[in-house]
């Protein structure tokens, strides 16, 4: 079993047996897309130790694991993933700290894999990848929308609180939002039409 702790330019690769004993360990100074050499080195080390094949394990964080997935598929090697939360919990139970190091994480990934705390990553096709991208984009837009609403609410509560009283749920009211769009979210346009009471009544 081969555990890889992925990073931008430093990859820690540990080859272990079924009891999580480290057979060999090596640090590769390269990008994840250049791990083909490390995979071949791991296969050679496992064969020398008497194993017929290898299984690659890593955390599915960021985008780097997808590169490893493609590399392993190209050379006919099985790949599994270990949930990052499982690694974090294992790190805490190991020494009761949140201390993180590449070598330690590689060993924790290996141990969780031998204990079968793993899952098989799904190889997404073009349509599924696009759908996931749109899902992430939607989540980002909702977050931005919520932040913008809170910012506007904070501003109005301090500068123009009466505007928020014109609707029960102003940010869900199409009429309220349309009125705010027309007047530029400023009372100047309304006060130019008359008094304060008239402006509130107009809303």
Instruction: Please state the domain extents for the chain.
Output: 2-123, 127-200
Query: What is the Cα 143 distance to its own chain's centre?
Result: 15
pLDDT over threshold 60, residue 101: yes
CA angle 106–112–113, rounded 5-degree value: 90
> What is the fold of 2-123?
Nucleotidyltransferase; domain 5 (3.30.420)
Mean pLDDT computed over 161-184:
89
Instruction: Note if the pTM is more than 0.75.
Output: no
> In the chain, helix, strand, coil percent, each to 5?
55, 15, 30
- Structure confidence at residue 163 (pLDDT): 87
> What tokens does 155 get?
């501003």
**How far is it, in rounded angstroms, from Cα 102 to Cα 46?**
21
Query: What is the Cα 159 distance to its own chain's centre?
Result: 38
pLDDT over threshold 70, residue 99: no
Average pLDDT over the chain, rounded to an integer? 89
Give the residue with greater pLDDT, 188 vs 181.
181
pLDDT band at 9 (very low <50, low <70, confident <90, very high): very high
Mean pLDDT computed over 132-141:
93
Most confident by average pLDDT, 31-45, 58-72, 93-107, 181-195: 31-45
pLDDT band at 202 (very low <50, low <70, confident <90, very high): low
Give the residue with greater pLDDT, 140 vs 196.
140
């Amino acid at each position: 079993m081969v555990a890889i702790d992925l990073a931008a330019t430093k990859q820690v690769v540990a080859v272990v047996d079924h009891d999580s004993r480290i057979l060999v360990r090596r640090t590769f100074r390269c990008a994840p897309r250049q791990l083909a050499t490390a995979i071949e080195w791991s296969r050679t080390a496992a064969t020398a130790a008497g194993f017929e094949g290898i299984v690659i394990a890593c955390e599915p964080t960021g985008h780097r694991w997808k590169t490893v997935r493609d590399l392993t598929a190209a050379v006919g090697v099985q790949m599994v993933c270990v949930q990052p939360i499982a690694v974090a919990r294992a790190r805490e139970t190991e020494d009761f700290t949140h201390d993180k190091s590449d070598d330690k994480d590689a060993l924790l990934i290996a141990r969780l894999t031998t204990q079968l705390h793993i899952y098989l990553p799904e190889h997404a096709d073009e349509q599924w990848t696009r759908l996931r991208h749109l899902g992430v984009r939607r989540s980002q837009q909702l977050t931005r929308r919520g932040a913008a609403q809170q910012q506007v609410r904070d501003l109005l509560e301090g500068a123009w609180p009466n505007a928020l009283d014109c609707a029960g749920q102003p940010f869900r009211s199409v009429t309220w939002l349309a009125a705010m769009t027309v007047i530029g979210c400023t009372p100047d346009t309304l006060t130019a039409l008359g008094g304060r009471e008239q402006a509130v009544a107009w809303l």
